[in-house]
Structure 1
């Protein structure tokens, strides 16, 4: 997502000076591609005043991490400060370095202003420089994420815009209390949005701009609310005697898929926000939960115990209730998410009477029987596709802590970012 004004966190003052023509960059990349290796980037920071030095180091460290997670670079982290005006391009070339990123920052105790300088070693010149700023020190990860996105954009690499998207986290505090947090994908930046000593669960973004989200608040009965981050106002949507959760939102934001139990067991419902019409999509005496739109949104995938154990099924949104089994792997697939014609689901891969079971993630297509394992060991739950379908965000639970996991599908890489305190109950990206 773009840095957005509603958070009141990020004010970008972008000053770009493009000193290399696009064909210069393309020529450099062609040399790298022919070598068959990732381009090497040296990430450095410029000596700053004593007050700003710790902040410069944090921004520098976060940018190093972002570029590693991107999968697009071989990253060299320079731990000693460098000089802006002393670039020895011959030395970089002899060390097979292709690009250099230098970071500087000023911190006045409140706001941070940072500068990124990016160089093409092969051409021996600066590609671009850009200035960024944020209003509070805790928001420095957002600066680094934007720098990583800009570097990739200038090199015409696959987009990293997913790094700028915020994550909604429902954090378990106690048996009757959860907080809803706004966080970056590394959990380094966190801001509490809702904390009212109640159970606030299953947050789901209401729009692609990430200005509003839905969540379930447990009052006298489960009640669905929409919360506006700009105004901090919330709107009650509907309630239910039993379970009530938004599991997916249509691309235009006008339709909600609900897991709802107005009478006994849960079923899947489609709710039209325009005309307030509630349509029941499944009718089963057991449990149907966690639906996601798939393909062109004419179908959904969901989890049901209609085989005697949880598994993944699909049906149409026209109310015909033609249910088909989608997954034939494993005997306990308890969560699924979809992007276009692909699904990722969590399935139990062990059954141990004396130890915790393992739940792993698998990638599958609605148009073939091929299955690709994504994790190996542990308890891996609640997968979420990035907006471009190239990455997966998920929760990994261990006895000691909860972590957010990132899987970069095109690069066969995965990374974990631990929540220092508390347990992640649910998330959305």
Structure 2
């Protein structure tokens, strides 16, 4: 993959910061070039959501990796004394406020360029409910990021759908932002697991529920709060991937109480095609290489590993040659990310690390170092990976910023995440 350049408009001039993306050797090159220094302040005499918005925006700016960030004080709603900020080597001032509007919330961002001593951005953002205030901060961060012409961070506005265990035999399906600050339970009652977005617009969710003691795949419409059954199976029924046009599903099914295999399901024709025929376990299919092939996890070597086959089925080839217990595969274009179990602890959590490979390369990169790290998923642009980090008592969502070799964690105290999609 060719090098890219990270371009910031540094206030009084444009300056360039070279950053190498994932190339054929999957190396990450960092730079020590100075980042813009931004202070985030809250406009005084505002309600509680102003302070929450301030803290959220500070966190988002740090996660972007494009700024040096300082949390400022409460200030009056008037033009700042630019010389004071200039003396502190501050480049940008972001001032935020929030107010309730009907049943929703509005947030205001004012961005000042200290070098040029002027206001460069003033924008209002709205959300339909108060608990969605984190998305105000995400949009503000994207706006500030756009002003300095940094690489896009649109992934921050993406909804996450996840399944949370509540009690034995029960789990909720919840919508959340990437920090888990916003959460909205949408599906409950029974065991609701393996949620998967069904289209780019994120108005459809596939998930699995036990109906009459059979795992059943349902298609849920967010706009109408209605669900319809897609198919059932005896031992496993999971949607593992959805095509880019939303018309084809990859399923893991165990019909007739046999072993699990990967199937291709056509929504329009309702045609179900079996892609793998191994006598053991084949699961977790993911579209790769322009959706012409499917990567999946199989125990055909006597332990779980990652393989690939043509979308029409047929010959199977091994994709991963590292580790002896590899699972939770995900894909983006030519890249594969997967988990590998690296301990065998009978009584506690095992160590699962996450690795990244390219289908056109023999090189491999480890992305985590310790702990139980599972279910990696790429962001839409392929430049970030989300995953679950488990402890004995709770789960966290992790974000790996691939171009910056940095990771961030957002926990759910006393809650276990079963699975998620981004």
Point out where structure 1 has 5 or more consecutive residues left out of the alignment.
Answer: 1-23
1:39 matched to 2:36: yes
The within-5 A match list for 1:230-241 is 230-241=223-234
Conserved 8 A contact 1:109-1:137? no
Q: Is 1:282 aligned to residue 273 of structure 2?
A: no
State whether structure 2 residue 12 is matched by structure 1 residue 28: yes
Q: Deviations over 1:161-212 (max 9, x none)?
A: 111111011011123111100111111110011011x111101000011011
Question: What's the counterpart of residue 23 of structure 2?
Answer: none
Q: Could you report, residue by residue, the CA deviation over 1:352-398 in whole angstroms, capped at 9, with x for unpaired residues? A: 45653200101111111111111111100111100000111110000
Q: Give the conservation status (yes or no) of the 8 Å contact 2:282–2:296.
A: yes
Aligned residue pair count: 400
Q: Secondary structure at the match of 2:255?
A: coil
On the 8 A contact 1:48/1:104 being kept in 2, the answer is no
Contact 1:48 1:106 in 2 (8 A): no
- TM-superposed CA distance for 1:316, in Å, is 0.6
Give the C-alpha shift of residue 25 in structure 1.
4.8
Task: Give the stretch that moved more between structures: 100-109 or 408-417.
Answer: 100-109
Of 198, 205, 208, the residue aligned with 1:206 is: 198
> 2: distance between equivalents of 1:355 and 1:28?
56
Taking a change above 3 Å as real, the CA distance of residues 217 and 354 of structure 1, as seen in their structure-2 partners, is closer
Question: Which residue of structure 1 lines up, in the alignment, with residue 181 of structure 2?
Answer: 188
Of 210-219 and 33-42, the range deviating more from structure 2? 33-42
Pick the aligned partner of 1:318 from 278, 296, 312: 312
Gaps of 5+ in 2: 1-7, 19-31
Provide the rounded CA distance (Å) in 1 between the counterparts of 2:201 and 2:13. 33
**TM-superposed deviation, 1:266:** 0.2
- Map of 1:2-401 to 2, 5 A cutoff? 25=9, 28=12, 30-31=14-15, 36-49=33-46, 52=47, 54-78=48-72, 80-107=73-100, 110-196=103-189, 198-220=190-212, 221-263=214-256, 264-320=258-314, 322-352=315-345, 355-401=348-394
Greater Cα offset, 287-296 or 349-358: 349-358
Asked whether the equivalents of residues 48 and 105 of structure 1 are also in contact (C-alpha less than 8 Å), the reply is: no
| Deviation digits for residues 137-162 of structure 1 (CA, Å, limit 9, x no counterpart) | 21111111111111112322211111
Q: 1:232, CA displacement in angstroms?
A: 0.4
1:24-50 Cα offsets, whole Å, 9 max, x none, are: 95663525859921111111111024x
Q: Secondary structure at the match of 1:81?
A: strand
Which residue does the alignment assign to 2:5?
Answer: none
Separation of aligned partners in 2, 1:288 and 1:364: 20
Q: Where does residue 8 of structure 1 map in the other structure?
A: none
1:166 & 1:409 partners in 2: Cα distance?
20
Q: What is the DSSP-based 3-state SS (H/G/I as helix, E as strand, rest coil) of the residue aligned with 1:90?
A: helix
CA distance in 2, matches of 1:204, 1:358: 26
Q: 1:282 and 1:395 mapped to 2: Cα distance?
A: 28
Q: Deviations over 1:200-246 (max 9, x none)?
A: 11010000110111111111111111101111011211111221100
Corresponding residue for 1:409?
402
Give 3-state SS (helix, strand or coil) of 1:91's partner. Answer: helix
Contact 1:112/1:136 (8 A) holds in 2: yes
